[in-house]
Structure 1
Amino acid sequence: MNFVQKALWFVESHWRENISLDEIAKASGVSPFHLTRTFADAMGISLMRYVRARRLSEAAKRLMENGESILDLALETGYGSHEAFTRAFRDQFSATPDQVRNKGNLKNIDLVEAITMNSQPITVALDPPRFETLNPRIMVGILERYDCQSPGGIPNQWQKFSPYLGNIPGQIGEDAYGVCYNFDEEGNFDYLSAVEVVEGHSLPSGLTCLKLPTQRYAVFSHKGHIAGIRSTISAIWNKWFPESGTKPVNAPNFEKYGKEFDPATGEGGLEIWMPVEK
């Protein structure tokens, strides 16, 4: 059983409690940062959103099963008050507990069922990474914020950035970078479509500057179509890190697109740079 499956088991065993990310990570045997990244990449939903959705989905079912008060149900499912429970329930289902109970059924309620704990191994074949230490550098590009459930806007972000490629003052080389950083417990993250630049140049309007410190990286090759990158990243987090014993660092990671990558077809491959301890 890998640590994502351990996390799923712990959630299903404790969903009635107000469990924290730290508690789930401790039970899974990895750091909260590692578990957050791995779970989101493997499951397509952030861990804590899944916890909240499971708790509220089970509560919605119980609304239909017995006549207990909404306050009692709130307290039994880890909420401190009727108001807190109603607010979370409405955010999840766009209806209050009273409205659902009065309707008498769960039609049009998007319940989140338990994710099946699958013991099948990650099947993506990873070549052994190389390790590199990069000195401080400056990235400049277009910045957007996404969550792990809906990162579909990233290709369009690259379309918006493409006119800037080769036209940003002080650009170094021809490589482009997709930098992921500022991850939170909800699975939200910043994504910067960028190029490297030398310091001292003024930025075109609408672009963002990000300074990366000195950092050691494990560098992986993704050789297939760009559409398969999520499977490669999942294999890195869920298989390579645990088996290698290498520890990830809570720092920006990035994709590096060289001249071999064809943005028109999505073919040609790219590199995935993961920050690791020195």
Structure 2
Amino acid sequence: MGASYWCSVMATALFSSTTAAQTFLASQQSGCPDATPEEEKLFRLIPVPTPRIETKGRLQLVGINAHLAAHQQADFAKIPQAWSLLSSRMVQLEGKTNRSSAFTNVGAPNRFSGYEVCFGAGGGNFYFMPAVEVSTTRFVPPGMTVLVLPPQRYAVFSFSGQRADIGNLRYSIAKTFWKTSKYVRADAPNITVYPPGDTGRSETVELQFWIPIKP
């Protein structure tokens, strides 16, 4: 069962390039693998905010799926490539994207929340998927992935601060929060949610970490 901080720290060049959309069933998805001791050296402990507990409804996502090789620190730079590829194909999703935002207090017309989903692929490997929420999964463009998540209970950590501390917070949650928490992680995908309008270029960021927990 994986730690949440590893959801979007790494990516690989093996982006999905199939001729038809791939659908991952909920029963096939598991959590992200934990980082190795060597990888942990990249991060430091910082204070962890108190999460709120929420049950999210069924979530339909379409994005660019990438299979991630375990322990490949050199692949960190591949993350913006995945987002860039999704951004370049957004026009193909016109009319299908769900404008409702996970950030109900952020109003940004014609902008959409960005999701980073991480789920296990066995052997310490995992999948990284930048995505957007859609109102329909019909007519998904070739080479894009459909990911339908069932209703799930989450510990939702809100973060507002330096973008450079995103990995540190994920690491801190994984290393310290669960040791004293009454909640238990569920073996399901971890999700990072960025607000509408975030370009990834600013030094500061506002986002949410959705970490699945057992009922």
> Contact (CA 8 Å) 1:37, 1:237: kept in 2 or not?
no
Residue 191 of structure 1 corresponds to: 128
Residue 80 of structure 2 corresponds to: 155
Q: Which structure 2 residue ranges, 5 or more long, are not aligned? A: 1-29, 100-111
Shift of 1:199: 2.6
Instruction: Give the paired residue count.
Output: 168
1:170 aligns to 2:99 (yes or no): no
Q: How far apart in 1 are the matches of 2:119 and 2:72? A: 16
Offset from partner CA, 1:192-214 (integer Å, 9 cap, x none): 11001123521112110011011
| TM-score normalised to structure 2 length | 0.69
> Contact (CA 8 Å) 1:41, 1:233: kept in 2 or not?
no
Residue 242 of structure 1 corresponds to: 179
1:181 to 115, 119, 122: 119
Point out the structure with max Rg over C-alpha.
1
Residue 147 of structure 2 corresponds to: 210
| Amino acid in the other structure paired with 2:81 | N
Q: How far apart in 2 are the matches of 1:183 and 1:229? A: 23
Q: Which runs of 4+ in 1 moved over 4 A?
A: none
Q: Secondary structure at the match of 2:84?
A: helix
Residue 125 of structure 1 corresponds to: 47
Q: Which structure 1 residue ranges, 5 or more long, are not aligned? A: 1-32, 46-114, 116-121
Shift of 1:185: 3.8
> Contact (CA 8 Å) 2:66, 2:128: kept in 1 or not?
yes
| Amino acid in the other structure paired with 2:132 | V
Q: How far apart in 1 are the matches of 2:208 and 2:91? A: 20
- The sequence identity of aligned pairs, in percent, is 28
Shift of 1:179: 0.4
> Contact (CA 8 Å) 2:183, 2:214: kept in 1 or not?
yes
Q: How far apart in 1 are the matches of 2:162 and 2:199? A: 10
Q: How far apart in 2 are the matches of 1:272 and 1:263? A: 16
> Contact (CA 8 Å) 1:138, 1:197: kept in 2 or not?
yes
> Contact (CA 8 Å) 2:33, 2:126: kept in 1 or not?
no
Select the structure that is richer in strand.
2
| TM-score normalised to structure 1 length | 0.54
Q: How far apart in 1 are the matches of 2:138 and 2:63? A: 13
Shift of 1:181: 0.6
Q: Secondary structure at the match of 2:122?
A: coil
Shift of 1:225: 3.1
Q: How far apart in 2 are the matches of 1:158 and 1:266? A: 17
Pair 1:148–1:226, CA change in 2 (3 A): farther
Higher relative contact order (CA 8 A, sep 6+): 2
> Contact (CA 8 Å) 2:114, 2:196: kept in 1 or not?
no
Q: How far apart in 2 are the matches of 1:221 and 1:129? A: 7
Q: How far apart in 1 are the matches of 2:195 and 2:63? A: 16
